[in-house]
Amino acid sequence: VWAHRFAAAVIRYQIGGGSLTSSLEALAGLLAADPAAAPGTFAQVCQTVEHVDGVHLADLLAHLPQRAPDGQTAMDEVLRLAPQAGADHSQRLIARWEPVLSALHTSLHHPDPTTRAAATHTLNQVLTALGQQPDWQALVPVLRRIHAGDRDPTTLTDALDPIHTAITQRALDLLNGQLDIDPDTWRTLTDTDEPD
């Protein structure tokens, strides 16, 4: 997997391809999960991907437009860019949860009981829908626990990935008054408008 992701990223880097960002984000995830497994040289990447019949990565790169003078330099640049692309991607994912966190806060703290009830209803609908998505199945029960009154960050974040942990911490910070978000953002949620 590593070598093929690197190969795709290096090709996209060299040609200035529009899919470079998604390749960098995928590499950032791999680097975060197991940095020691990354190939050390472009020659190692070529050797691995060329096990597939008909694939000659070094030859292909020689015929493409070049932003970097060689494959190793392109790979080094991809390695330099990947962490920031991963961080940017994580921030976008976390930001998409602002309406859900707004619903959580409003459902617990709004002075008007009707508004609290509407926010609770919206929150439950959105969490039910998100609970069906594999990417968010671990986070949804945590947010439900927070809604029910659990505020222990250690037990809430146990076994969560970094993005789920960041969203959980934002929820706790919001409820503790350490974070401000637009209190009406929850109103943008509908049955079909949840974070991706």
Report whether pLDDT(191) > 80: no
Ordered DSSP codes for the chain:
-HHHHHHHHHHHHHHT-TTHHHHHHHHHHHHHH-GGGS-SSHHHHHHHHTTSTT--HHHHHHTS--SSSSHHHHHHHHHHHHHHHHHHHHHHHHHTTHHHHHHHHHHHH-S-HHHHHHHHHHHHHHHHHHTTSGGGTTHHHHHHHHHTT---HHHHHTT--HHHHHHHHHHHHHHTTS----TTGGGG--TT----
For the chain, give the percent of residues with pLDDT over 90: 82
- Which is more confident, 178 or 196? 178
Domain boundary among 38, 62, 88: 88
Q: Across the chain, what does the average pLDDT equal?
A: 93
Tell me the whole-structure pTM to 2 decimals. 0.76
Count of domains forming the chain: 2
Q: Name the band, by pLDDT with cuts 50, 70 and 90, for residue 195.
A: low
Q: What residue numbers bound the domain in which 123 lies?
A: 96-188
Domain boundary among 39, 60, 88: 88
Amino acid 2: pLDDT = 86
Q: Is residue 168 part of a domain?
A: yes
Report whether pLDDT(196) > 60: no
Domain boundary among 66, 88, 110: 88
54 and 107 together in one domain: no
Q: Is residue 195 part of a domain?
A: no
Tens of pLDDT, residues 9-46: 999 999 997 899 999 999 998 998 888 888 889 999 99
184 and 100 together in one domain: yes
104 and 53 together in one domain: no
Q: Is residue 18 part of a domain?
A: yes
14 and 74 together in one domain: yes
141 and 123 together in one domain: yes
